[in-house]
Amino acid sequence: MAADEGFGIPGVPFPVGVEYYRAPTPKPEVWDEDLRRIRASGMRIVRSFTMWNWMEPRPGQYELDEFDRLFDLAEKHDLYVWLDMALATHGAGPEWMTRDFPDMRVVNQRGRAATPVASAAMPQGSQIHCYDHPLWRQFGGALIEHVVTRYRDRPSLLIWGLWDGIAISSAFSRQTDGLPCYCPHTLARYENWLRERFTLDELNERLLRRFRRWEDVEPPRSNASLVEMLLYRQFHYENLAGHLRWMIDETKRLDPVHETRTHGAWYPRPWDERCAAVADSWGMSMPSSNLLTVEDPYQIADRAFSFDWSRSAGKHGRWWNEEIYAGMSPGGVTWKKQADPRELTTLLWMTLACGAAGAMFWQYRPEYMSFESPGYNLAALDGQPTERFEAVARATEQIEGLSEHLPLKCPQAEVGVVYHPESQEMFDYNDEDDRFLADMRGTYRALWTQGLTPDVVSPRMDWSGYWQLFLPNVALMDEATRENVRRTLADSEGPRLVAEGSFGMYSADGQSSYGPPDGLAEELGVRVADVSAVTAYDIEQGRNVLETPCGPVAITSPCGYAVLEPLGDTRGIASLEGQAVAVRSADGRFTWYGLTLSAGFGDLGQPDLVRGLAQEAGVTPLVAMEGDRAVPIVRRSRLGGWLVFVFNVERAEAQCRLRTRERIGGAMDLLTGCAIEVEDNGFELVIPQWDVAVVHCTEE
């Protein structure tokens, strides 16, 4: 099934909606008027996200009258319902369940069972139960059967939300230091998982241990045991995807018609790709404030990175931006800067331009029971519209006016950035997860701001068809990654590869490689001679000048680097203090910089280096910008031709000229309905501060 077929609202190719009910707020007497106002704004969906302990406060007794009313009112006001069943991760399970079956509780690495706990988003309790207890499926399956059977035939039902913020069972107990569960049920599953894959001798070889009895095999209880933790985490991620598959299968058995989705964060996590493949669609949440109203508004590229990753990870490319936080985070007794209405509309337009199935806001009214109030809301505390609500309504109306062009198509980009989940694990174990994400985002941003909107792909995806791929910190060289590198470089028509920073420094089992890049050093003609760093003192003393094919480039922030020794036909192409820190293969298809293209430059991809590498690969923007700075994103219209979304994230009006690489016959400003004069294959635009232009370019 294609991403634009089989699901959604008939005649509404890009629906916009809002989270409305998380029991027990808002109070029932305001629902009718609120839903009337929501529909009048042009929104089409209301979402209910409610905890299991509210839906089933006694075993087998489901108290769902307010959900019946929500469906009734949605149908009265011509709205659709997105209904979440929070069996896991967010929110507490039924108190009777962990009371009557205390062995269902998550156990931390020290052997202590989790105790009830709340958080700012979940004042009525966070999850403390483990999915691996067999009764979780029994009780959870009964809830699924009751809820799905009860609502599957409602004409307003749109989506089953089956796992919000999907993560391992210990993630929200807040008592595990971020480590997995160690309850007896999980440990038994892990032992079975190991026995299915290894003999004891094979396991010893994999873990570099000398176990002589299976009874002696214990999971690691610290990230310092990185070789063992990689394997334990692999089990947990496969196990997590298996639990999600069970939940979706149960739902599909009862209701094969409606869409199922699961949901991640606004940044990639090592288990997301596995889990996204299981559901009909992938989703994400996203802070929205302090993006444009800051000194560096181009940080909004981080959101575009997340959108493009979500599209790559989602089954058939189907994804939702399901939580644009509509306000500051958090609220409480003191307040922070509220989101500017134009931050919300910019994110809404970017969501459309990045190929989402639709967009949802979190949330309509404040979360009255927690310190998310007054926080993420579109409406004020008394339910009256805010400027944010009104701005979203205007943008929704404008998007509806583009319906004949939608759903748009996102053709494969010419350039991509590779995200490698296992390498993120390695960085996380060393408390460098932020460094890993910053290096990916830095390269993405350098391309995005130049109009070279890249795809975000993983080593498990097809790399063919790209002209160039950047590989920031692909540190752990598992077999799938190694073979994709080999296959890519063996294809004379395949993309050029640019490795950055820590490339193949670890073997698949987590050991430091004996000859990085692991398994490829001889083929690629390179040896890692040493590793070091540029410090703040080095920068002060002038020992920070990188000599490159683009000329000298000054490193402006401390960063690590590898000293690379070229072998055979490979040659050095960049140096630091006389030592080679970048090499290139004789055919020019493989380049490795021993430092990332952003770590030494304030986490921003160094524009001369990134641009120069792209130009060497023949990658140029589909739309070149002249004049004031703006960011174009180019997509295919359903009517043919191109839709060009041009974002002005600067603090002033942008007057710019766009010149297209493809020949165009005409241009129409879709937001004003006015034709644009085309001259010399280009046209001019004036875009207000923090606004967007949408132009349909017809082909000549």
Give mean pLDDT, residues 213-241: 96
pLDDT over threshold 80, residue 561: yes
pLDDT of residue 3: 42
Give, in degrees to the nearest 5, the angle at Cα 50 between 46 and 55. Answer: 125
pLDDT for 262-315, tens place per residue?
999 999 999 999 999 999 999 999 899 999 999 999 999 999 999 999 999 999
Distance, CA of 92 to CA of 202 (rounded, Å): 40
Structure tokens at 610: 């990134």
What does the pLDDT read at residue 132?
Answer: 97
List CB contacts of 334: < 8 A, sequence separation 6 or more: none
- pLDDT band, very low/low/confident/very high, at 212 (cuts 50, 70, 90): very high
Element (H, E) at 471: strand 468-472
Mean pLDDT to the nearest integer, 52-61: 96
Exposure string (b/e) for 323-340, b if CB count within 10 Å is 16 or more? bbbbbbbbbeeeeeebbb
Report the distance separating Cα 441 and Cα 449, nearest Å.
Answer: 12
In contact, 623 and 644? CB cutoff 8 Å: yes
Residue 686, classed as helix, strand or coil, is strand
User: What CA–CA distances, in Å, run from 546 to 501, 530, 534, 542, 543?
Assistant: 14, 17, 11, 11, 9
3-class secondary structure, 346: helix
Tens digit of each residue's pLDDT (9 = 90 or more) over 357-403: 999 999 999 989 888 889 899 999 999 999 999 999 999 999 999 99
> For residues 247 and 87, is the Cβ–Cβ distance under 8 A?
yes
- Largest Cα separation within the chain, whole Å, is 79
Q: Return phi, psi of residue 234, to 5°.
A: -60, -45
Contact 380, 34 (CB under 8 A): no
CA distances from 696 to 415, 558, 678, 692 (A): 23, 45, 12, 13
Per-residue model confidence (pLDDT) at position 172: 77
Does residue 363 contact residue 329 with C-beta atoms inside 8 Å? Answer: no
Burial of 100 (0-12, 13-18, 19+ CB in 10 A): exposed
Residue 554 identity (one-letter amino acid): A
Element (H, E) at 124: none
C-alpha to C-alpha distance for 110 and 174, rounded to whole angstroms: 14
Q: Is residue 118 over pLDDT 90?
A: no
Average pLDDT of the chain is 95
Angle at the Cα of 83 from the Cα atoms of 392 and 138, rounded to 5 degrees:
155
The answer to whether domain 623-699 has CATH 2.60.40.1180 is yes
Whether the pLDDT of residue 120 is over 80: the answer is no
Looking at residue 123, its pLDDT comes to: 84
Higher pLDDT, 119 or 79: 79
Q: 415-616 maps to which CATH number?
A: 3.40.50.880
DSSP 363-411: -SS--TTSTTTTTS-SB-TTS-B-HHHHHHHHHHHHHHTTGGG-S-B-P
Check pLDDT > 90 for residue 90: no
Angle at 119 between CA 114 and CA 122, to 5 degrees: 105
CA–CA separation, 456 and 516 (whole Å) = 25
Q: How many residues are present in the chain?
A: 700
- Measured in Å, how far apart are the chain's first and last C-alpha atoms? 32
Number of continuous H segments (helices) and E segments (strands) in the chain: 18, 29
Whether the pLDDT of residue 679 is over 80: the answer is yes
Given this model, what pLDDT does residue 5 score? Answer: 57
Domain ranges in the chain are 415-616, 623-699
Residue 223, pLDDT > 80, answer: yes
> Phi, psi at residue 528, to the nearest 5°?
-85, 110
Q: How does DSSP assign 258-316, residue by residue?
A: SEEEEEE-SS--TTHHHHHTTSSEEEEEE--SSSSSSS-GGGGHHHHHHHHHHHHHSGG
Q: Taking CA 473 as the corner, what is the angle to CA 472 and CA 476, rounded to the nearest 5 degrees?
A: 135
Residue with tokens 């991809």: 605
Give yes or no for a contact between 471 and 503, defined as CB atoms under 8 angstroms apart.
yes
At residue 99, the 3 state secondary structure works out as: helix
Tell me the Ramachandran region of residue 542: left when phi exceeds 0, alpha when psi lies from -120 to 50, beta otherwise: left
pLDDT at 332: 86
pLDDT, residue 78, reads 98
Write the DSSP assignment of 594-654 as a string of letters: SS-TTGGGTTS--HHHHHHHHHHTT---SEEEEES--EEEEEE-TTSSEEEEEEE-SSS-E
Contact 231, 207 (CB under 8 A): yes
421 contacts: CB under 8 Å, gap ≥ 6: 268, 269, 270, 271, 272, 273, 458
d(CA 452, CA 613): 12
Contact 690, 696 (CB under 8 A): no
Pair 534, 505: CB distance under 8 Å: no
pLDDT band for position 125 (cuts 50, 70, 90): confident
Average pLDDT score over residue span 65-75: 98
| DSSP β-ladder status, 358-362 and 319-325 | parallel
> 593 phi and psi, to 5 degrees?
-95, 125
d(CA 542, CA 546): 11
Side chain identity at 564, as an amino acid letter?
L
Mean pLDDT of 147-151: 98
Contact between residue 44 and residue 18 where contact means Cβ atoms under 8 Å apart: no
Determine the Cα–Cα distance for residues 438 and 282; give it in Å rounded to an integer.
23
- Name the DSSP class of 125: -
Query: What average pLDDT does the segment 213-222 reach?
Result: 96
d(CA 463, CA 450): 22
